Amino acid sequence: MISSDYVLELSNVFYSGQVEPGSCMQRLLGSIKTGVILKDVSMTVHSGEVLAVLGSKGSGKKALLDVISRRVQGPTRGQILLNNHPMNLSLFQQRCGYVTHKCDLIPGLTVEQTLYYT
């Protein structure tokens, strides 16, 4: 289905969600502050390229990676394609990897098993 040469394309991606941490009471009352986190993001990344996502704290770097990896909970709009196929959770898990900065190795598992688990 997908060749070894990959092209990841984002077109007009929007994402709205929680913009600041909420307290337990805010979660219960449903008063967590939400807003637009990503607005009209478009980019193309080819396999073999080195890409850096830079920005100040709160600029949406992690949100961008979470939207691509389908880890977000809020509404998203736009297109995310991998080799002209719509990116879904299954496709991401088969063809991509995403390791957060808080990923710890799990005793008794190999690095590959740990990355698969996370």
Which has the higher per-residue pLDDT, 25 or 19?
Answer: 19
What was the pLDDT predicted at 95? 84
110-to-29, 49, 83, 100, 116 alpha-carbon distances in Å = 43, 27, 30, 17, 10
Instruction: Taking residues 76-99, report their average pLDDT.
Output: 88
pTM value is: 0.73
